[in-house]
Amino acid sequence: MNRYTILFIIIILISGLNTTAQEGKRFFPEKDLITTGIYYYPEHWNEDQWERDIKKISDIGFEFVHLAEFAWFKMEPQEGKFEFDWLDKVIGLCAKYNLKVLMCTPSAATPAWMRARYPETFVMDGHYIRAEHGTRGLGSIVNPVYRKFVTTIVTAMARRYGQHKNVIGWQLDNEPDAKPDYSPSSQEAFRQWLKNRYKTIEALNAAWGAAFWSQWYGSFDQIIIPNTSLVGWWGNNPHALLDFKRYSADAQAEFLDFQAATLRSYISEAQFITTNYTAVSTGADPRRTNKLDFATYTAYPNGGTDNIGEQGFRLGNSKVILFAAEYYKTTGGVSGVMEIQPGPVNWGGYNPLLLPGTVRMWLYHTFAAGGKLASSYRFRQINYSAEQYHAGVIQPDGITPSPGGEEYMQFIREIKTLRKQYKPGAAMPASLVARSTAIVWNLENYWTIDRQKQTWQWDTWNYPLKFLEIAKSFGAPADVIPETADLSKYSLVIVPAYEMADSSLVKKWSEYAANGGHLIITCRTATKDRMGHFWEAEWAAPLSALIGAQVKATDMLSNNGKGEILMGSNHYSWNNWADLLAPDKNTETLAVYDNQFYKGKAAVVRHKVGKGTVTYIGVDTDDAKLEKDVLRGIYAAAGATTENYPPGVYVYWRDGFYVAVNYSSDNYTMNVPATASVIVGERTLQPGGVLVWSLR
């Protein structure tokens, strides 16, 4: 073992012993509702402009400044030589203008000397080519040398700013993404991870099904990271690839926890620790960390793609904040948006102007869903480098607010009005509590299904979102929860395509229904064990008793093929996925297939379990009409009223305020009681419109 390996092991041990996360909400006074901030990179600008810029940030009404995210080169210009005077000066200016500071660890962008002198600190791609200096996010997070440098810079920053009363918290790294890393350090870490998991090579061979195509391993030393670049799609073992995803997510989480533990030794209890995951993160798993106080997300809804209706390409993807705002609450109980797009970006297929009001609507969406902070990348649009076409809150002249900047200002003013109207202790109205819905989801199922979709029409990411959207169309409060969460507080629990399961999880679902819950399970659930093997039994065997039916076979059609379904007297169509069900005699058939050679076979069934119900939806439709009608019936059975909001109109309740946003291309008139007080906006929401009201 060399000295870095020893140091690495010590770090891991120390991080395991250190203090853990705190409850996220304690960092955010309830009466503030939401706090706003902005990314500022003083290192990009002449020093003689800093004061002007910071004063402007304060004049706009922002409450915190996000600093130092990619500034490693300026804090440690030479190995072991630190310069913080410039940052002290900026923090001093923030204090002068009454702005708090959110400090960032700079680990995502390393200084040039590191790549030049220590190439092993960088990741390797699937062709074993080492990444080069010049961008961000390419550090090999399991490399001991890189870890040593991260420890040093984070410690130096923590010592200097950990007790600073103006620093409210820390953001670790930038958009952690569990990047695949094929470097020697990562190969070694992967083998170690496998040894911890399987203990013996026999257990690994069994789990990976390594008898197939002579993959059999004689010892852990023979294992290399499964490499799709070199083996080709067919040659890849889905179980090995699943473990590589798990390992990468674990390594990412452990890297964040290690930074958090390093900070915790020095920082005040009043400072929080968070990170900023991308809204759609298919690699990093926020639920694997245990030392962060809460998680935030970055939201870029508009990357130049079609969305709802004619103006959808300007309003952006309505599902980005919809999902992330719920999902990221899993860590620490609260969340917020760390970056919200302030205007057109530089990386979309095309980068259209946003419909006036769009940035403000996104901000309200994050607020509506409970967000505790809203911040934006970035203050000034940069005049040079890779993101020079990316909008800022201030235009390239350095002084004029962009249209998005104006909308920020409006949002900040309006939040001040809402704060004045805030009354502590408001309880969610009973009609909403009755609709409370949970979507059970985890990344592992995304990984396993997306690897073996079986039909290219299967949209792995958006499938669970379809159910979240349906719940929102009914006006239901809806959470995205892990399988370990308490289900008892939800009227409906939806389990969409939860491919890998085990009997104890199915028992938990069964108990939820038996106690009066309404459980909805869909196709592709419990068809595999936790390693991704089929059961040596009937299809989806652990589910059969719970759903009161057997899944006999699954059909898929061509893009233009049309499968028909009949529910009552209503006709629906499908073409992605269709489980053919054989219901038990006490199970009610809700919908049947109405063409193809299996016409008359069940597609949707309902089974009474104890005091509750279990509904199995075996078919996936493109327009979601069938799923929506099935769910409407379940809300009614649960004693809940439902709304019928059109796609892209979302309504939330938080802290006594109802908030509606409109991502659709049409006006929508909200049915607000005549006695309600409208605080922001008008009853008819235009595309990009917002309405906030309260009931007196």
Q: Which is nearer to ligand GAL, 66 or 601 (CB)?
A: 66
Angle at 549 between CA 546 and CA 555, to 5 degrees: 125
Assign 3-state DSSP to the chain and report helix, strand, coil percentages, each to 5: 35, 20, 45
Site for ligand GAL in 383-402 (CB under 6 A): 387, 390
Quick one: three-class SS letters along 131-164? CCCCCCCCECCCCHHHHHHHHHHHHHHHHHHCCC
Count of residues engaged in binding ligand GAL, rule: CB under 6 A:
9
- The residue among 339 and 444 lying less far from ligand GAL, judged by its C-beta, is 339
Can residue 339 be called a binding residue for ligand GAL (CB under 6 A)? Answer: yes
- 345 lies in the binding site for ligand GAL (CB under 6 A): yes
Q: CA 468, CA 473: separation in Å to the nearest integer? A: 9
Is 174 among the residues that bind ligand GAL (CB under 6 A)? yes
**444 touching ligand GAL, by CB under 6 A:** no
Helix (H), strand (E) at residue 276: strand 272-278
Contact with ligand GAL (CB under 6 A): which of 53, 175, 414, 579? 175
Check residue 171 for interaction with ligand GAL (CB under 6 A).
no
End-to-end CA distance of the chain: 69
Alpha-carbon distance of 165 to 404, in angstroms, equals 31
- The CB-of-459 to ligand GAL minimum distance in angstroms stands at 22
Q: How far is the CB of 305 from ligand GAL (least distance, A)?
A: 15
Q: Provide the pairing of β-strand 478-481 with 690-694.
A: unpaired
Per-residue binder mask for ligand GAL (CB under 6 A), 599-618, x = binder: --------------------
Nearest CA-CA partner of 141 in 181, 169, 114: 181
When the beta carbons of 231 and 280 are compared against ligand GAL, the nearer one is 280
Question: Among 105, 298, 576, 613, which residue interacts with ligand GAL (rule: CB under 6 A)?
Answer: 298
Round to whole Å and give the CA distance between 307 and 618.
27
**In this complex, which beta carbon is closest to ligand GAL, that of residue 318 or of residue 381?**
381
Please, how many CA atoms are within 13 Å of residue 336, restricted to the half-sphere of its CB?
Answer: 20
545 binds ligand GAL (CB under 6 A): no
- Identify the DSSP state of 647: T
Q: What is the DSSP string of 447-494?
A: HHHHHT-SSTT--TTHHHHHHHHHHHHTT--EEEE-TTS--TT-SEEE
Say whether residue 173 binds ligand GAL (CB under 6 A). no
Give yes or no for residue 300 binding ligand GAL (CB under 6 A): yes
Nearest CA among 252, 226, 292, 330 for reference residue 22: 292
Give the shortest CB-137-to-ligand GAL separation in angstroms: 9
- Asked if 637 interacts with ligand GAL (CB under 6 A), we say no
390 or 528, CB closer to ligand GAL?
Answer: 390
Nearer residue to ligand GAL within complex by CB, 324 or 556: 324
Name which of 136 and 654 has its Cβ closer to ligand GAL.
136
For ligand GAL, the closer CB: 340 or 604:
340
CA distance 558 to 565: 17
Taking CB under 6 A as the criterion, which residues in 139-168 touch ligand GAL?
none
Could you tell me the smallest distance in angstroms from the CB atom of residue 255 to ligand GAL?
Answer: 17
Q: Which residues bind ligand GAL (CB under 6 A)?
A: 174-175, 298, 300, 339, 345, 377, 387, 390
